[in-house]
Chain A
Amino acid sequence: DTEVTQTPKHLVMGMTNKKSLKCEQHMGHRAMYWYKQKAKKPPELMFVYSYEKLSINESVPSRFSPECPNSSLLNLHLHALQPEDSALYLCASSQDLAKGQFSNSPLHFGNGTRLTVT
């Protein structure tokens, strides 16, 4: 069982819908990540949160809006997506030595949300 839990597992949404992806971890990790993975491709980083603050935005379009309500939760709000945004969205977490210092610790991934935009 993964220690990073993502809901929902599957999501189908229209281009005018607003939906949210949710991620939860209870490992005490203070760094959390959103990745996007297309078929037969490696995961691509979207956002990084460190101590509940957005540290990295990999030039992601504004139709994706991340939120970190507390140290255990990470959300990704979706609005006006395009069919090409259909992908597996992965949440991950890792240890963080201190604010902004990322340790040599592995990322632990959830099982992802399979998103289809119609």
Chain B
Amino acid sequence: DQQVKQNSPSLSVQEGRISILNCDYTNSMFDYFLWYKKYPAEGPTFLISISSIKDKNEDGRFTVFLNKSAKHLSLHIVPSQPGDSAVYFCAARGNTGFQKLVFGTGTRLLVSP
């Protein structure tokens, strides 16, 4: 049962434009959401997170939006740069005791010059 879904395996965007990566979840107990970026041969790098008490969190070029009623979150990258080309994983967990981080299957972003 895939509790965190990234339905787009890949996304291509031109440099300078907006990249929008989407993520859906099914577990209503999730209340903390994160985005990670992964380059080949490296570990995932933490990008940005959001708690369920918020609907938006911004850090530089990266903004995460959370729609709890739709169980949907998205990552916006503006403006996109070629160095943003990587695989992006969304992840989620609950807050009762230990809740393991559940990862989505990833979206490969390619930003072309």
Contacts and interface: CB of A to CB of B under 8 A. Distances in A.
Central interface residue in B43, B97, B98, by most chain A CB within 10 Å: B43
Nearest to B43: A109
A2 B42 CA distance: 9
Nearest to B50: A104
Contact of B89 (A42, A48, A56, A108): A42
A56 to B, nearest CB: 6
Contact of A109 (B45, B99, B104): B45
A58 B41 CA distance: 25
B43 A2 contact: yes
Interface in A30-54: 40-43, 45, 48, 50
Nearest to A55: B98
Contacts of A56: 98, 100
Interface stretch (A14-22, A59-67, A72-80, A110-118): A110-118
B41 A104 contact: no
**Residue from the set A55, A100, A106, A112 with the largest chain B CB neighbour count within 10 Å:** A106
B16 to A, nearest CB: 28
3 cross-chain pairs, A with B, having the tightest CB-CB distances, nearest first: A42-B103, A109-B43, A106-B46
Interface of A: 2, 4, 6, 40-43, 45, 48, 50, 55-56, 58, 90, 92, 100, 102, 104, 106-112, 114
Interface of B: 32, 34, 36, 41-46, 49, 51, 89, 95, 97-101, 103-106
